[in-house]
Amino acid sequence: MRITSVLLAWVVCALTATPLLAAPTRLPFAYRLFRALSSLVTPVPLIYANATREHEVYDAMTRILAELTRPDDHLVLINPDGRYCAFRITADQNAVPLLQASQSDPTEFSQFASRYQRVWVVLDNPQAGWQAQPPATLAPTLAAQYMQLPLPLPTYFADASFPPGSTNFWLLRAHLLQRIAATSPAQLNPRFFLDLAQTYRRYGDLTNTILTLQKGLDAFPTDPYLARRLAETYFDECKDYRQAIHYNRLAARNFRLTFATPMYEALFNTALAYQQLGEDANAQLQFADILSELDQYPDQLWESRTRRYLGNLLLKMGNTNEAIRQFQLDLRLSAQHPGYSYDRLLGLFQDMKRADAYARTAHSFFFACGTNDVRALVRYLPILLHESDRTLLTNALLSARAWLARNPTLKNEFHRQPAWTVWTNLMFTLGFAPEL
């Protein structure tokens, strides 16, 4: 049985059997709490005798939370199965049980942040450590009501005075993260640096954003996400595309070493950085490298994005035929809404006066996307105006009218198009009402 499951199950027994108000303890994250409780019930601390890693995790949590918590704060421990216990912190930092164990009642759990002024929630899973994920039943409440703090055990915090998403909420988060770093620097993890940097970035402090990420990369030089976030910051905020390329390449290399697969986000952003620098040939080579990786590690969404951007780049470089091929290959994927590539192809065929290719593509666009994309209707109308097959013409027009009747948004968009007049005249000519 996993240690955390044993501990929570044992805590429930202890709370049921013994009034802890008469047994002051320290914060319940430390194994010292379990030792104090178990002395009344069972020698569970023996579990920890040789569990060095758990000793370190609980000791670090004790130090950090002793620094952060205040009297009358409330504390909730959640085990990996979703069961939880709640405690109140007293003036002398004792933990007084309020709630024994719950079978992961999400309704009850969702009330803690509104019932108490300040609440700390800890995922008690030392095996997963800072990478532990909350139980699915409780995750929505944590995401909506709490700020996450990347402690040795993932911790969530809510204070009724700081609504989630407010400026003061993020200022408080930065303050708490700084205190955590000062209290237990040896327990910091990559997620800590990512979170602190993102908090600085939210209110425009680029200097501390970059400094924090660089410190994180110094401490964890093989972490791909720290390098990727640095590249993103240099690209989006600093417009320093050389640095973006450097850190994207580092991120891709670290990701490959860690997970043995490509980090498409970093590879793709490298190509975009080359484009921003005006180095179109290097960007083309980078997109080609991504497509080579995709042959071995398929990902239809990244392939679709790559082919669309490469198609536009090839058009800029004057290679229209190859650009057309990229948009056509994208349509085979169906990874994104196909309207973009259909529309790009039709514009090219129109400019090139390739009437047959235009007609075939417009026909496919109409029947693939006519239910939800007004461009499919607008592009096909010129074909229908010259359609000699009465049956095909009638079926297409009645299909389009049915789509408009079922989709008010599509109909409203079509009304605003100059093509609506063409549509109306064509329908009346054939003896149909334009709308149902």
Taking only the tens place, the pLDDT of each residue in 297-316 is 999 999 999 999 999 999 99
Structure tokens at 143: 């995401």
Structure tokens at 360: 């075939």
**In this structure, are strands 147-149 and 155-159 parallel, antiparallel, or unpaired?**
antiparallel
243, with CB counted inside 10 A (0-12, 13-18, 19+), is middle
Q: Please tell me the predicted confidence (pLDDT) of residue 131.
A: 84
Nearest-Å Rg of the Cα atoms of the chain is 30
Residue 326 placed within a domain: no
List the one residue out of 395, 380, 309 whose CA is nearest residue 343: 380
- Out of 109, 131, 161, a domain closes at 161
Question: Dihedral of CA 26/31/37/39: which sign?
Answer: negative
Other C-beta atoms lying within 10 Å of the C-beta of residue 265 = 17
Residue 12 placed within a domain: yes
Residue 402 placed within a domain: yes
Residue 197 placed within a domain: no
Residue 329 placed within a domain: no
**In this structure, are strands 84-89 and 118-123 parallel, antiparallel, or unpaired?**
unpaired
Distance CA 302, CA 299 (A): 6
Domain count for the chain, please give it. Answer: 2
**In this structure, are strands 84-89 and 95-102 parallel, antiparallel, or unpaired?**
antiparallel
Q: Which residues contact 257 (CB under 8 A, 6 or more apart)?
A: 222
- Out of 161, 182, 197, a domain closes at 161
pLDDT tens track of the chain, all 436 residues? 233 333 333 343 333 333 333 334 444 444 444 444 433 333 333 333 344 567 778 888 888 888 899 999 999 988 888 888 888 888 887 778 876 555 567 888 899 999 999 999 999 888 888 788 999 989 999 999 999 998 888 999 999 999 888 888 888 988 898 888 888 787 788 988 998 998 888 888 899 999 999 999 999 999 999 999 999 999 999 999 999 999 999 999 999 999 999 999 999 999 999 999 999 999 999 999 999 999 999 999 999 999 999 999 999 999 999 999 999 999 999 899 999 999 999 999 999 999 999 999 999 999 999 999 999 999 999 999 988 898 999 999 999 999 999 999 999 999 999 999 999 999 998 888 888 6
Helix axes 52-68, 31-38, angle to 10 degrees: 100
Query: How is 184-224 classified by DSSP, letter by letter?
Result: -GGG--HHHHHHHHHHHHHTT-HHHHHHHHHHHHHHSTT-H
Q: Please tell me the predicted confidence (pLDDT) of residue 38.
A: 37
Q: What is the b/e burial string over 323-349, where b = at least 16 CB atoms within 10 angstroms of the residue's CB?
A: bbebbebbbeeeeeebbbbbbbbbebb
75, with CB counted inside 10 A (0-12, 13-18, 19+), is buried
Distance CA 158, CA 297 (A): 41
Q: Please tell me the predicted confidence (pLDDT) of residue 87.
A: 87
**In this structure, are strands 118-123 and 147-149 parallel, antiparallel, or unpaired?**
unpaired
Residue 287 placed within a domain: no
Q: Please tell me the predicted confidence (pLDDT) of residue 5.
A: 36
Integer angstrom CA distances of residue 387 from 110, 363, 394, 425, 434 = 61, 11, 10, 15, 18
* Contact in structure between 400 and 392 (CB atoms under 8 Å): no
List the one residue out of 343, 261, 362, 15 whose CA is nearest residue 7: 15
Q: Please tell me the predicted confidence (pLDDT) of residue 2.
A: 34
- Out of 93, 126, 161, a domain closes at 161
Q: Which domain holds residue 431?
A: 360-436
Residue 371 placed within a domain: yes
Distance CA 312, CA 329 (A): 14
pTM for the predicted model, two decimal places: 0.75
Distance CA 170, CA 163 (A): 10
Structure tokens at 249: 């390449």
**In this structure, are strands 74-78 and 118-123 parallel, antiparallel, or unpaired?**
parallel
Helix axes 167-183, 190-202, angle to 10 degrees: 150
- Residue 224 CB-half CA count within 13 A: 19
Residue 387 placed within a domain: yes
